[in-house]
Amino acid sequence: MDFESVLEKCGSFGRYQFVLLALYGYTNILSSFHYFSQTIISFTPPHTCMPAVPHDVYAYQNNSSSGRCNYIQWDPVLLMNEEFKCESWQFERESGYESITTELEWVCDDAYKLAVGQSFFFVGSVLGTIFFGYLADRIGRLKACMLTTLTGAFGDFITSFVHSLPFFSAGRFIAGLSTDTQYILMYILVFEYLSPKRRTLGLNIVLAVFYCVGLMVSPWLAIWVGSWRNYLWAASLPALGVLCYPCLLFESAEWLLTKRQYERAAQCLRRIAKFNGRQVEENVFDDFITYYSKKMNEQQKTTSDTFMGMLRTPRLRKFTIILFIKSMIITVAFDILSRNMEGLGTSPFKLFSFTSITYLPAGLTIILFQNFIGRKGMACASLFVGAVITALTGFLVASFDPSEHSLLLALMVGLGRYGGVVAYDAEAQYAAEIIPTSVRGRGMSNIHVVGYAFGFFSSYIIFLGTFYKPLPSIFISLLMFIGAGLCLALPETVKKKLPQTLADGENFGKGENWYYFPCFGQRRKPTEETVVSVASIEKTCKTYIKENL
């Protein structure tokens, strides 16, 4: 008797699953607080130069678009104005909120310090994805989930005590270690213990709702606590709640099976049955243990495919390189569109909070339209539309006074974030379907890590705004246009049998025109070669999750 059959008897959508979904939502709130803490702590309000000598001085308000970081003082001897660098600043703090830039005065000549420090967050995310992914396979999903969450919270907590760039960089590096694995490991537990019919609710709606709530609340939490140091404490301390997870959740039974711990896997299912109020005969668990003992003893590797094999044949090599570049572009665009909130005529706290609601319609857009227009159509359209909106936003920032057109700019920022979220969420599924099953886990891990590695440059791209405010928008729009064009060189995957081996991947999509989209193509009767069953999709997802972590 296999795992799904036993889980159905023990309850695949009962009290235990409701607790699991609730904690999954809690983890997503922690994750949203954690990832965007780098945005909340670094808001830079309008500031005015405070010269050393207050008399006979023209103090200019610093404007990032004009780069005024000096003050002009009248020299009565030379009878002329002399220009000096500012030594201190007066900040127009939002509701009295003290950010790291206002406290340490990291503006103008010191503005690079914020970009350098924040970039180490992405260095940590690359190494953390690799390390905690490995750890999850060694000690289990639940323990690794707790450790990665506590590590990220510890990084945020120690960052709150720093006063210099080296220590700030070290704190952001430690915080970045848990960027991805913090919620992915909870995702796996939900996926494995939830009824297949309810997985869309558990893995999409709950994610969108709770992550969105966390993002919308975080700016107001920052204003309420008053400073970036207090915010990091408030964002990190709730992570201690994961220490209660072992009292409420059970280890991944499927992971235990891969480690040949059949009795422990059966014990997890017994406890779930008890939690859900189900009576399950003991012989069911005996059959379960016997089934997997025999299966694992007979199981042998049937393929010698490796990820490097994707670079040895021309078509797969092209697909792999494109997927790498797309991951880089989308990761950077998503991060910058979510963080570049200043100088737009609206409070960055309000702008960040209100535009975070775009996570809900973005998730619904993918659910409703991705199967209709296809994976390629969704990936290409989201990047192209996002690029147009981002470029237009940059043009508006350069042409209009933000104080007079704040509502228009806020709307454009919201639309830009919407496009970025759609592109980010759609990219993962598209890549997983193009990569052959035999190397899907390793391929997705490598593509994911490369994307986060390129995210290292997002802080520096945002820093370009100190020279000319629209520069980050212009740069990102160009990258997104490139990404949209690259999507056209990839094959469509919707309603097709997905490649299983590298040989299948090399032949996948042959003869398909670059401009082919399912919504414009001719309808034809599905055949055995083009229909992908629900069972095969679920099997593919499980294979990817196991291999990836």
Question: Cβ neighbours of residue 139 under 8 Å, at least 6 residues apart?
Answer: none
Distance CA 161, CA 171 (A): 9
- What pLDDT is attached to residue 60? 40
Pair 308, 294 in one domain: no
Query: What is residue 485's three-state secondary structure?
Result: helix
**CA dihedral for 300, 188, 195, 497, sign (positive or negative):** negative
**What CATH number is attached to the domain comprising 255?**
1.20.1250.20
Pair 160, 243 in one domain: yes
Largest pairwise CA distance in the chain: 101
- What pLDDT is attached to residue 535? 45
Q: Which two tokens stand for residue 44?
A: 């830079």
- What pLDDT is attached to residue 78? 56
In a domain, 322, yes or no: yes
Distance CA 2, CA 420 (A): 40
pLDDT averages per 10-residue partition of the chain, 549 residues: 85 90 92 88 81 48 46 58 71 87 86 86 86 82 91 94 93 89 81 75 78 90 93 94 93 84 91 91 88 74 68 89 91 84 78 87 81 84 90 85 82 88 80 75 74 80 81 90 91 81 84 78 43 44 49
Distance CA 483, CA 481 (A): 5
Pair 273, 331 in one domain: no
In a domain, 4, yes or no: yes
In a domain, 528, yes or no: yes
In a domain, 474, yes or no: yes
Pair 26, 138 in one domain: yes
Pair 185, 330 in one domain: no
277: which DSSP letter?
A: T
Pair 313, 275 in one domain: no
Pair 534, 448 in one domain: yes
> Any idea which residue has 């220590």 for tokens?
167
Confirm if 141 and 185 have CB atoms less than 8 A apart: yes
Distance CA 107, CA 67 (A): 10
pTM value is 0.76
| Domain's final residue, options 299, 319, 337 | 299
Burial class (CB in 10 A: 0-12, 13-18, 19+), 398: middle
In a domain, 101, yes or no: no
Distance CA 84, CA 364 (A): 54
In a domain, 222, yes or no: yes
Confirm if 99 and 228 have CB atoms less than 8 A apart: yes
Pair 357, 389 in one domain: yes
Distance CA 230, CA 273 (A): 43
163: which DSSP letter?
A: -
Structural domain of 66: 47-92
- What pLDDT is attached to residue 544? 45
- What pLDDT is attached to residue 52? 55
- What pLDDT is attached to residue 482? 94
Pair 161, 12 in one domain: yes
Domain count, the chain: 3
Pair 414, 488 in one domain: yes
Check residue 260 and give left, alpha or beta (phi > 0: left; psi -120 to 50: alpha).
left
Distance of CA 119 to the CA centre of its chain: 15
Confirm if 449 and 129 have CB atoms less than 8 A apart: yes
Pair 187, 331 in one domain: no
Pair 389, 479 in one domain: yes
